Amino acid sequence: MRWKSDRYSGWGRALVAEGDLARPERISSLKDLPPTPAIGARRSYGDACLNSDGRAIDMTRLDRIISFDPETGRAEVEAGMPIGELARLFAPRGWIPAVMPGTGFATVGGCIAMDVHGKNHHNAGSFGAHVTAIRMIHAGKAKTVTPKNNPGLFRATLGGLGQTGLILSATLQLAPCPGLSMKVRESRAGDLDEHLALLEASQAPYTVGWLDATARGATLGRGIVEEADHSLDPAPKEGRSKSVPVDAPRFTLSKPVVKAFNARYFARIPESGRTRVRSIADFFFPLDRVQDWNKLYGKRGFHQFQCVLPHSETATLRGMVQTIAESGLASPLAVLKRLGPERAGLMSFPMEGVTLAVDFPNRDKATALIRDLGQRTAAAGGRVYLAKDSLADGDMIRAMYPDHAKWVETARKADPDRQLETDLVRRLNLRSA
Amino acid sequence: MQETWIILGATSSMARALSRKLAEDGHAVFLAGRDMDDLRRQAADCTARGASLAEAVKFDARAPESFAPILDRLADQEGMLNAAVFVGSMPDQADIDADPALVDGTITDSFTGPARFLQMLAPLMEQRGGGTVVGVGSVAGDRGRLGNYVYGSAKAGFHTYLSGLRNRLTRAGGHVVTVKPGFTDTAMTWGIEGMFLVAPPEKVAADILRAVEKKKNVIYTPFFWRYIMTIIRSIPEPIFKKLSI
């Protein structure tokens, strides 16, 4: 396997690694390889997908379907398979990944390593809940791990940041997909209370709130709640995907621009709400239509802060939204979502409550703000999402993840010499109890 | 209409991209190469994507005895037969300089092996009155250069062969597309210095299918390589021989 010296980063582009990357195209190339961290499409924002001054294996070319049973909706796919490809290929045959993150470019291996959640977490649980088997190289041997034959390793691998071994392929139980489109109901939420009430009351399988993180005063926390279900209506034609060719200048996402954009985005939806039919890709992966949209933040990149707070911590959430709005640093990308209690892995992010995600350009003020938000999350008994993090403190993170010690033990057995560590794992010292 | 495609050198990433698109259109694909384990995985992928038939078959450009069984399998299929040839090998020119015997293998893999196979397939295509051959050459075949002139000359030979085969098959209702890819993002180019404007294999595959549909004769992919190569071909030999590009 040839190694390429490269500078690479996660989706946020604020943290950069220099190291050697290989990109095998055949599973057999992985034989006799010393333990090496694997990376996917690098859609995690911070440094979870980086290994500075070391090696990493880019799995994106190991992206084949190994088997698919149209009767049961079970599919085994290689780790590099993008989740959006599965939706594109199987939706016409009545099946769709049961949980899909906000980008279709994320790979199945990455979705497992982060135990990602989707717009349906409150009733479908996290990605790992629909994984029935993982084929991985564990402690030097290729093996198939299931919840039955090795529950400890299985749970440590879901959300396990790649620290328990190299994921080769996984078997997924897909969910029935009755049609090729989504019926989406969009409603205005005038303030935070209304926003949370709409999320809480929603009976739809898929629910997500867009948050206007610039709104203050009486409109603090306002936004649009989208509720969706599968539909048999014909899907509208998808527009051509566009791309951002160069790094945008700094004013692109400056305060007045974002404020004006958000006001228009909010006003688009009539006061009485509206219902639209959208394609599956357009509903689940709206941002994927703009390739390399991360360049909009300029060459310094950006951070995303994502936390989950228990339902009882509405006051904390309100305080956070207020601080963010007053800072004038937020971008249009801000999301509120309800999460259910289900978490498939020992290091999985979800907990029952409300999750808040906000993008910030990489500036000193924003990094200070994100650190502050992290501390408030910790104090409120919440949790910060490792797929997005690039700034948190290790002690704080370890305290947020109740099964951390158990996970450390399983990871230690799998990789005693810590050869699978990534920049994120080292920065947060996650492999130490 | 469902057709049958034989893909030589099917483990390459360009071939993988093409086989997937053919599979999604419901065609039958025979995936030929040496790494049977990998080809079987690829066949499973094609089946899951909707191929009416996907089968791994053993093909070694240096072992002509591997050709006849494949042709027998193809003859069993009904309807139009098509072929896409991705085989070729490009050892370092320095390695060839050190061991001139490598010339033979390079030329067999990149030219005479696939040419012999196509020569055996042509009568079958003529009998059925159509079908398309996609021959993947290289921009390296447009002019001999210091860096890879053995590989380049093999591809130049293959281009000329394809041109002649086009002449022949056109008379029987068939067609031949010569494809000259520039730098493509494959295992072959991964980590090699001096790569620029590298195209993803899916883009090359899409260009190939468009060329098949429009019955193009010779395509460069991505298209701008046609202009780059026009410039390179137009450099007078007295100057060119002193350049190292």
**% of chain B surpassing 90 pLDDT:** 90
At B191 the pLDDT is 87
Whether B41 sits inside 8 A of A2 (CB atoms) is: no
Same structural domain, A163 and A145: yes
Residue B92 in any domain: the answer is: yes
* A61 contact residues in B (CB cutoff 8 A): 13, 187
Q: Quick check: is A424 in a domain?
A: no
Range of the domain at B174: 4-240
Domain assignment present for residue A85? The answer is yes
> Does a structural domain hold residue B38?
yes
Q: Is residue B28 a part of any domain in this protein? A: yes
- Predicted confidence (pLDDT) per residue in A316-369, tens digit: 999 999 999 999 999 899 999 999 998 899 999 999 999 999 999 999 999 999
Residues of A in contact with B187 (CB under 8 A): 2, 23-25, 61
- Confidence (pLDDT) at B194: 79
pLDDT band at residue B149 under the 50/70/90 scheme: very high
In angstroms, rounded to a whole number, what is the distance separating the alpha carbons of residues A102 and A120? 11
Contact B49 A27 (CB under 8 A): no
Domain-terminating residue out of A127, A158, A177: A177
Q: What is the CATH number of the domain that holds B75?
A: 3.40.50.720
Cβ contact B48–A75 (<8 Å):
yes
Asked whether residue B61 is assigned to any structural domain, the reply reads yes
pLDDT confidence of residue B220: 96
Cβ B82 vs Cβ B4: under 8 Å: yes
Q: Does the pLDDT of residue A226 top 90, yes or no?
A: yes
CA distance A350 to A344: 9
Confidence of residue B25 (pLDDT cuts 50, 70, 90): very high
Whether A250 has a pLDDT exceeding 80, the answer reads: no
Task: Rank A237-241, A294-298, A343-347 by mean pLDDT and report only the highest.
Answer: A343-347
Residue B132 φ/ψ, nearest 5 degrees: -125, 140
Of the partner residues B13, B48, B186, the one whose CB lies closest to the CB of residue A68: B48
Question: Rg for chain A (alpha carbons), in Å?
Answer: 21
B187, A25: Cβ pair inside 8 Å?
A: yes
**Domain that residue A147 falls in:** 65-177
Q: Kindly list the residues from chain B whose CB atom is less than 8 angstroms away from the CB atom of residue A174.
A: none
B38 contacts chain A (CB < 8 A): yes
Nearest CA in chain B to A21: B191
pLDDT of residue A342: 86
pLDDT at position A249: 83
Nearest to A67 among B37, B44, B187 (CB): B44
| CA–CA gap between residue A338 and residue A334 (Å, rounded) | 14
Rounded distance between C-alpha atoms, residue B51 and residue A371, angstroms: 52
pLDDT band at B71 (very low <50, low <70, confident <90, very high): very high
A69 part of contact set with chain B, CB < 8 Å: no
Q: What is the pLDDT of residue A291?
A: 86
Beta-strand pair B218-221/B175-181: parallel
Number of domains in chain A: 3
Task: Assess if residue A407 is contained within a domain.
Answer: no
- State whether residue A18 sits within 8 Å of chain B by CB: no
For residue B192, the model assigns a pLDDT of 84
Which range has the worst mean pLDDT, A156-160, A236-240, A361-365?
A: A236-240
Give the nearest partner residue to B41 out of A61, A64, A89, using CB atoms.
A64
Residues 179-208 of B with CB under 8 A from A: 186-187, 190-191
What is the pLDDT at residue B34? 95
Are residues A113 and A222 both part of a single domain? no
CATH number of domain containing A85: 3.30.465.10
The answer to the question of residue A411 being in a domain is no
Beta strand residue intervals within chain B, DSSP E: 4-8, 28-33, 53-58, 81-85, 132-136, 175-181, 218-221
Q: A162-176, A197-211, A240-254, B84-98: which range is least confident on average?
A: A240-254
- What whole-number distance in Å separates Cα of residue B235 and Cα of residue A419? 52
pLDDT band at A124 (very low <50, low <70, confident <90, very high): very high
Strand partners, B135: B85, B178
Q: What is the mean pLDDT of chain A?
A: 95
In a domain, A259, yes or no: yes
Q: How far apart are CA A94 and CA A112, in angstroms?
A: 23
Q: List the one residue out of B150, B140, B144 whose CA is nearest residue B103.
A: B150
Chain B hits for A66, CB-CB cut-off 8 Å, are 41, 44-45
Task: Count Cα atoms within 13 angstroms, Cβ side, for A123.
Answer: 12
Residues of A in contact with B191 (CB under 8 A): 2-5
A258 plus A270 within the same structural domain: yes
Q: Do A25 and B44 touch (CB under 8 A)?
A: no
Q: For residue B244, what pLDDT is reported?
A: 82
Chain B residues whose CB is inside 8 A of the A24 CB are 187
Nearest by CB to A26, from B38, B44, B186: name it.
Answer: B38
- Looking at the domain assignment, is residue A405 inside a domain? no
The least confident of A251-255, A314-318, B172-176 is A251-255
| A236 and A315, same domain (yes or no) | yes
A91-105, B180-194, B227-241: which has the minimum mean pLDDT? Answer: B180-194
CATH number at A218 reads 3.30.70.2520
- Predicted local distance difference test score (pLDDT) of residue A253: 82
Test B48 with A65 for CB contact under 8 angstroms: yes
pLDDT exceeds 90 at position B63: yes
pLDDT of residue B47: 97
pLDDT tier at A236, thresholds 50, 70, 90: confident
The pLDDT-based confidence of B188 (bands split at 50, 70, 90) is: confident
> Does A131 fall in a domain?
yes
Distance from CA of B20 to the nearest CA of A (A): 10
- The residue out of A17, A43, A58 marking a domain boundary is A58
Which residues numbered 48-107 in B keep a CB inside 8 Å of some CB on A?
Answer: 48-49
* Statement: residue A147 has pLDDT above 90: yes
Question: Which residues on B lie below 8 Å from A25 (Cβ)?
Answer: 11, 13, 16, 186-187
Q: CA nearest B44 in A: which residue?
A: A66
One-letter amino acid identity for A114? Answer: M
Does residue B161 form part of some domain? yes
Helix or strand (DSSP H, E) at B211: helix B201-213
pLDDT at B232: 92
Average pLDDT of the segment spanning A146-163: 98
B42 contacts in chain A (CB < 8 Å): 64
Angstroms from A155 CA to nearest CA on chain B: 28
Residue A119 lies in a domain: yes
Whether the predicted interface score ipTM is above 0.85:
yes
Q: Which two tokens stand for residue A128?
A: 């790992």
Q: What is the model's pLDDT at position A244?
A: 84
Q: What b/e sequence results for B177-215 when a residue is b if at least 16 CB atoms lie within 10 Å of its CB, and e otherwise? A: bbbbbbbbbbbbbbbeeeeeeebebbbbbebbbebbeee
Residue B204: predicted pLDDT: 96
pLDDT at B197: 84
Last residue of a domain, one of A177, A206, A226: A177
Residue B245 lies in a domain: no
The alpha carbon of residue A65 is apart from the nearest alpha carbon of chain B, in Å, by 5
Query: Is A35 found in the same domain as A93?
Result: no
Q: Which residue of A64, A71, A85, A291 is the best one to mutate when testing the B interface, meaning the one whose CB has the most B CBs within 10 A?
A: A64
Is there a contact between B13 and A64 if contact means CB atoms under 8 Å apart?
A: no
What total number of domains does chain B contain?
A: 1
The confidence band for A92, taking pLDDT boundaries of 50, 70 and 90, is very high
Beta carbons of A348 and A115 less than 8 angstroms apart: yes
User: What is the phi/psi pair of residue A382, to 5°?
Assistant: -95, -165
Contact B11 A26 (CB under 8 A): yes
Judge: A66–B187 Cβ closer than 8 Å, yes or no: no
**What distance in Å separates the CA atoms of residue A169 and residue B44, rounded to the nearest whole number?**
14
Residue B142 pLDDT grade (very low, low, confident, very high; cuts 50, 70, 90): very high
